[in-house]
Structure 1
Amino acid sequence: MKQIPSLLLCILLASLIMACGSKEKASNAVRYQFDHIIDIAYTPDTAVRCTGWFTDQGSWMGFTLPQTDRWVNGFCGPFSIDKRNWMAKAAVTAHFGKAPKEVFTPDSTNYYPGELYLSARSASGKISQQLLFADATTALLSVYADTAGELCFTGNDWAPGTTFALDQTTVIATHPSGEIVSIGFTPDTRITCTDTNYQAICEGGKKVSISLSFFYNEKEKVAGMQKAATVLCQPDSFIQANNKRWEEYLSRILRKDMPKEYDRIAVKSVVTLLSNWRTNRGGLLHEGIIPSHAVGYFVGFWAWDSWRFSVALARFAPELAKNNIRAMFDYQLPDGMIIDCIYTNPEENNARDSKPPLAAWAVDEIFTHTQDTAFVREMYPQLLAYHRWWYLKRDHNRNGICEFGSTDGTTEAAAWESGMDNAIRFDNAQMVKNDAENAWSFDQESVDLNAYLAQEYQLLKKFASLIGQPFEEKDYTADVANYFFDTETGFFFDRRLSDGSFVKEEGCEAYIPLWTGIATPEQMERAMKLLTDTTKFATYIPFPTVAADNPKFMPKGYWRGPIWLDQTYFAIKGLRNYGYNDRADACTKQVFDRLQGLKNGAPIHENYGTHTGECLKAPHFSWSSVHLLLLYEEYGKQANDITK
């Protein structure tokens, strides 16, 4: 071995490192079975496109893979998810030191769950790069070259006005917004900085580790720099921790009896949820999940979104699920109200309305998967106060049946409170003032709201028993199903306050008595006539937001026709509740097989075309991911038939 030239020895060692890494990637982790999980290829220019980013650990920064036809030899970003700034086209690009301006041709790119990978080659050799998150502020970049010699790193196209400083072996790039990117190198690296960029040179022939940290301001930077240094001191331990964490996520949700293409849907759902995970910052006092990081106005926490997210997270990330609930209850008002949404800047919070009461469902799912009675005990008083708030502020005629409403008397906010912003059933609704302060209601009682409250009542009763508390709440829920069921039509509808007449717009609100199980078997049997009618609800993608034969049906009309997967899930789960398991499985297959791009690289969207399965509103949408995960979990399983 001593007779082998040193250069050749370096090449052999580098090749061995790469080969071992490839072997481990191919055989040692579940995540690598799910390559190209979502297409996030995008090389940024001056415009910010709603494309989606790779992000993890609750970080407020994201990265994309470069487009092969607009290649830069590094991961694009970071991108500020809160302030919507590209800090650079690529904060770190890699080249060979002997030819720093050499052109690289892309070899491969990949987005695995929790990891990005790219490789490219030039006349001098091949460079491969791996990116993963060490924690919420720092990403770890690992670089391998198949050729010995120096490697050169520099940034590409920094945002105008960015300033640079050098702190030992860390480059500090400060954006005009005040946000900061720090790029940490190992002590053997030679670094120079100018007014517009930096250059770092180190020896190749080995794995090169670089830290990429993102800080909201100088205070965050001071607190986080030491953690970033720790990542560079022991990079392998952070890589192993990342592998372990993602292995646990996926092992907790994947089934051994499902088709691989359906496994992919489940994994994509987990990836989507965790790409929308944000750690506490500013007015967000706990970590939680946002609806979609790809759309600026969705970078906050919403109430009924959060309850859904925690239902799914309970299965694979229960501590995050708990904090996600706590985040909304941090802003519970003295009268018990949970406000609509909260942001990093509390001045942007919306307290004009609440959202449908699904919080107790989320807490129950967390208890089911963790048996954590301490969390139930913690949340119970707040849940009880929220339950009472509905009857205090949203029951206009004090008959124990509630209405959606608002604190400012506007129909806009009342529609928001229902969660179904432009639903057909509210087209002619008006506002009425209630006898409590800052309380208005729609002049119609809603079936879905009262079905949710009926479920919540039973769960609160269960929680009280679990923690040894007396439960003396008045039961308004026993006759909810009969109250909202129209025997003439055989379906559930809202009712007008003025005369008790039904608002006969056949819509998804009728799924909720089936999902909560409060409908009688006879009512379910009557409803099946509409649910199995191909002109109404048995559409190409089943269970739209309104019956497809409604004259007001709009294929792209938000809540006036498209498929929302939460509502489709509620209907399918309703089928299972009443023993229609084969029908539920058939409907689940329609969802999995017909939604465009679902089994391929397209992101999961906010809603879909009823008759086409086409992707409609916001991509990378969390609550769609939640209900796909629940459909995956329940597919092929015989649920308890509540009629027996």
Structure 2
Amino acid sequence: MLRSLRILAVVTLGLGLALPAGAASAAAPPHPLTSFADILDLRGTPTSAQPAVQGTDVSDINVFADRGAWHAYALPKAGDSSSYGAFTGPLYVAQEYPWWLSKGFSRLNLSEGGQPLDLAAARNPVLTSLPGLLRQSFDLNGLRVTMELRYASNRTALVQSSVENTGNRRRSLGVGWSGALLRPDAEPMRSAPSLSATPQGVAVGFAKVRETWNYLTDGTERFQVTHAEPVTTTVSGDSYATSLNAPVELSPHGRQTLTWAESYTFTPAEAATEQPVVARALAQPWLTVAADEARWFGYVASATRGVPVSRQRLAVKSVETLVTNWRSAAGALKHDGITPSISNKWFNGLWAWDTWKQAVGTAIFDPALAEAQVRSMFDYQVTAASADRPQDAGMIPDCVFYNDVAHGGGNWNERNSKPPLAAWAVWSIYQRNGDIGFLRELYPKLAAYNAWWYRNRDHDGNGLAEYGATVDPSNVTAEDKRQAAAWESGMDNAPRFDATLGATVVDNTSASGAVVGYSLNQESVDLNSYLVAEKQTLALMADRLGDHSAAATYRASAATSTAAIQQTMFDPASGWFYDTALGTGQPLTARGRGIEGAVPLWAGVATPPQAAAVRSKSVSATEFATPVPFPTTSASSPYFQPTGYWRGAVWMDQAYFALEGLKRYGFGNDATALATQLRSTASGMMGNGPLMENYNPTTGAALNSRGFSWSAAMLLALDH
């Protein structure tokens, strides 16, 4: 480690941007992570304050954030010379919704002899991203300008601009910055931001706006630019201009670096806490840079270890995707977590099963962040002391956001849970870092979660559970409850949950006859396979913690459930696993084959002959081996829709379960071939396109949200 840090120090100083002001520097060598440059195309400039709605505009902008910050940036496009000298954005999250604050809030301005130097006339522009930073450079009138943006903390981006005199005469330059607000089109959002000058730069304040489905601020949010050097700022309407108080004097081939910080905070307490962080970053930026480089070198090394060279860029793209969607604790979110997609209007919260899958991928390069993710959901595990739902003790809510229900959180959802994969996530993290304290902390909570499923979601008490819904103000009608139950599966509109095909709900009652929840009228094969896997994992945890009696109990229960799945949920005639009708135990084959029928292989609950039958369908081009393999509904199904979300689109989590299941039962060559086909056919996956929420199985076209976290996490996990 010490040797690595010494090498890092030499590399960092070689870049020239982190040197103390006025220090001499040599020509910058290539960055050691250059081979991972521009893994994602992060170039673009917004035309409106609100990002395009996902799924309707594939030209929307990919962004970069780090350390859990709630604001993100991009690069100008090559050729967009009017944007040179500024990083695109920021994109800030108004508690739950992303908005562009500016096309480029801090644009560098240079002048000489009182005359402006036109950055639009710059030559040799290089606009690039590297793991952990954005960079742009260009030549202008005998000057070489290089700018880098990285994150100093979970609230602050650090920007450095190096101006080098490439000529043989002394230069005296005026330096300044300018920017303008990009206001939302409609009120009250339009009037929310306001500019003001500060002694060290400029700030944006935000009025209180409580538009539940569009924009949420408390009137305490603040975006602030703080310069290391003395400056003067003037504000005019929606625009500002900041100028350096003293000219920059450059000797021939001399260089000076200017440093500033861009912070986005939610509360006065956060702003106060961030002040010393900003001060340290501005006083000694080289320390921030060195720590940041070391962290990212570690990320890249962990993500690419053992991965074939041909897939290493995809591995690093997965890391960049997860890190950009990392949000630090704020509002009702008590721990850091990873959201599905910062770019999607509706996806800036934390979902339970997203979290379990994302933690498995994140643990590969940052186990501490993976632990925080898991805690972020268990923070809201229901207990018997709950005033609203004590009957749901052990349950994990579907999703949590910056605002809970009491504070106007319309996106917060406790009307259902999500599939139980938490023990798998915790054990995966433990296998990476050996943190026995984390295991000891989570084990009783995981046990309570597992018990809740059987207490509140096993209508007939036969040991096979059903997806369902909670007793909740939002679950009023039978259709409300059916919808919540479909959401609880995570496969919202899958054919097996269609009301027109017979899916409905039944009441679950306590011994006293009180309704404690609702179940679908079908026992789901994926749910019960997940529950077996959870019990098997809880047994491993119990043994590791010394509770061998509990371990034996979990193993016995898992064996019983395994036998029930094998005997009732597999249809020999069609060679596939299905949900079964509540009461009769008959497989619901008329609803078609779904990818959930492959989950028993991942969980290890299929017999070898059953696994061979599933393998046969998995490698068939008319079933699940479509050009992008593993559609959520078989290509032979009458309900197959390639762009139908859970009715045919390919999701990386389900592909992961299917591939790992094949490997588990000895079909490794098939899994390798199908995984290669998937990666090469899914649009942009092996290029510089974003990792998408899902893909068209017949064309490979990208579908729905860009920069999707569990796609990134599962792609990482496939190689580790």
Name the structure 2 match of 1:559.
Answer: 646
Q: Within 5 A, what are the aligned runs for 1:80-479? A: 80-82=92-94, 83-98=97-112, 99-100=115-116, 102-105=118-121, 107-123=125-141, 125-147=143-165, 148-159=171-182, 162-176=193-207, 178=219, 179-187=221-229, 189-195=230-236, 196-201=239-244, 202=246, 203=248, 205-255=255-305, 258-260=308-310, 262-334=311-383, 335-347=393-405, 348=409, 349-407=412-470, 408=475, 410-427=481-498, 428=501, 429-436=503-510, 437-469=515-547, 470-471=549-550, 472=553, 475=557, 476-479=560-563
Question: Structure 2 counterpart of 1:462, which letter?
Answer: L
**Residue-by-residue CA offset, 1:301-350 (whole Å, 9 max, x unaligned):** 00000000111111111111011000101111121110100000012310
1:559 Cα deviation from its structure 2 partner: 0.5
For residue 280 of structure 2, give the secondary structure of its aligned residue in structure 1.
helix
Q: Which amino acid aligns with 1:370?
A: N
Q: Aligned equivalents of 1:151 and 1:359: distance in 2?
A: 57
The alpha carbon displacement at 1:299 in A equals 0.2
In structure 2, C-alpha distance between the alignment counterparts of 1:425 and 1:105, rounded to whole Å: 60
Tell me by how many angstroms 1:528 deviates: 2.2
SS in 2 for 1:294: coil
Q: C-alpha deviations, 1:122-154, integer Å up to 9, x for none? A: 446332211000111111111012234324222
Q: Contact between 2:89 and 2:102, CA under 8 Å: does it hold in 1?
A: yes
Structure 2 gap ranges (5+): 1-19, 53-60, 166-170, 184-190, 208-216, 250-254, 384-392
The two structures have a TM-score, normalised by structure 1, of 0.91
TM-score (norm 2): 0.82
Q: Which moved more, 1:315-324 or 1:104-113?
A: 104-113
Q: 1:492 to 1:357 in 2, by over 3 A?
A: same
What CA distance in whole angstroms lies between the structure 1 residues aligned with 2:24 and 2:696?
48
Q: Deviations over 1:534-560 (max 9, x none)?
A: 111111111111110112111100000
Aligned to 2:620: 533
Between 1:37-46 and 1:134-143, the stretch displaced more is 37-46
Distance in 2 (alpha carbons) for counterparts of 1:171 and 1:150: 22
Give the conservation status (yes or no) of the 8 Å contact 1:180–1:215.
yes
- CA 402–105 in structure 1, closer or farther in 2 if over 3 Å, else same: farther
SS at 2:463 equivalent: coil
Q: Aligned in 2, Cα 1:155/1:500: closer, same or farther, shift over 3 Å? A: same
2:48 to 41, 46, 52: 46
Structure 1 spans left out of the alignment, 5+ residues: 1-12, 634-644
* Change in 2 beyond 3 A, CA 1:32/1:61: same
Note the C-alpha offset of 1:58: 0.2
User: Distance in 1 between the 2:194 and 2:627 partners?
Assistant: 54
Give the C-alpha shift of residue 393 in structure 1.
Answer: 0.6
User: Match for residue 20 of structure 1?
Assistant: 27
Deviation at residue 16 of structure 1 after TM alignment: 10
1:364-403: per-residue Cα shift (whole Å, max 9, x none)?
1011111111111100111011000000110011101000
Question: Does the CA-based 8 Å contact 1:363-1:376 persist in structure 2?
Answer: yes
Q: Match of 2:643, as an amino acid?
A: K
- In the aligned structure 2, how far is the partner of 1:264 from the partner of 1:547? 31
Give the counterpart letter for 2:103 in structure 1. Answer: K
Deviations along 1:435-455, whole A, 9 cap, x unmatched?
A: 143310100000000000001
> How far apart, CA to CA, are the structure 1 residues paired with 2:443 and 2:301?
31
Counterpart Cα distance in 1 of 2:349 and 2:24: 42
CA distance in 1: counterparts of 2:287 and 2:530, whole angstroms: 46
Secondary structure at the counterpart of residue 579 of structure 1? coil
Query: 1:14: how far off?
Result: 11
Aligned twin of 2:569: 484
Alignment partner of 1:559: what SS? helix
Counterparts of 1:267 and 1:130, CA distance in 2: 20
CA distance in structure 2 between the partners assigned to 1:15 and 1:137 by the alignment: 28
Percent of aligned pairs sharing the same letter: 35
Please give the secondary structure, in 1, of the residue aligned with 2:145.
Answer: strand
Q: Please say if residues 370 and 429 of structure 2, whose CA atoms lie closer than 8 Å, have aligned partners that are also in contact.
A: yes
Are 1:492 and 1:510, in contact at CA under 8 Å, matched by a contact in 2?
yes
Cα distance in 2, alignment partners of residues 396 and 173 from structure 1: 54
Q: Deviations over 1:605-641 (max 9, x none)?
A: 00001011110110000001111112233xxxxxxxx
1:479-506, CA deviations, whole angstroms, 9 ceiling, x for partnerless residues? 1233311122221111001422211121
Q: Which segment drifts farther, 430-439 or 216-225?
A: 216-225
Q: Deviations over 1:178-225 (max 9, x none)?
A: 4322212124x3323234413122526311111111112333222212
Could you say which residue in structure 1 is the equivalent of 2:681?
Answer: 594
Superposition RMSD in Å: 2.1
User: In the aligned structure 2, how far is the partner of 1:631 from the partner of 1:459?
Assistant: 20
Relative to structure 2, which stretch is displaced further, 228-237 or 61-70? 61-70
CA distance in 1, matches of 2:664, 2:324: 32
- Which letter maps to 1:343? F
SS of the residue aligned with 1:438? strand
The whole-number CA distance in structure 1 between the counterparts of 2:636 and 2:583 is: 28
Structure 1 residue 74 and structure 2 residue 86: aligned? yes
CA gap of 1:17–1:485, structure 2 versus 1, over 3 A, is farther
| Pair 462,345 (structure 1): closer, same or farther in 2 beyond 3 Å | same
Q: Do 1:537 and 1:544's aligned partners in 2 also have CA atoms closer than 8 Å? A: yes
In 2, the alpha carbon distance for the partners of 1:617 and 1:172 equals: 35
CA contact (8 A) 1:404 1:418 kept: yes
CA deviation profile, 1:206-264 (whole Å, cap 9, x unmatched):
1111111111233322221221111101100000111000000111121356133x111
Q: Quick check: 1:105–1:120 contact (8 Å CA) kept in 2?
A: no
Q: 1:569 to 1:257 in 2, by over 3 A?
A: closer
CA distance in structure 2 between the partners assigned to 1:405 and 1:568 by the alignment: 24
CA contact (8 A) 2:234 2:241 kept: yes
1:105 deviates by 4.0
CA contact 1:92–1:154 (8 Å) conserved in 2: yes
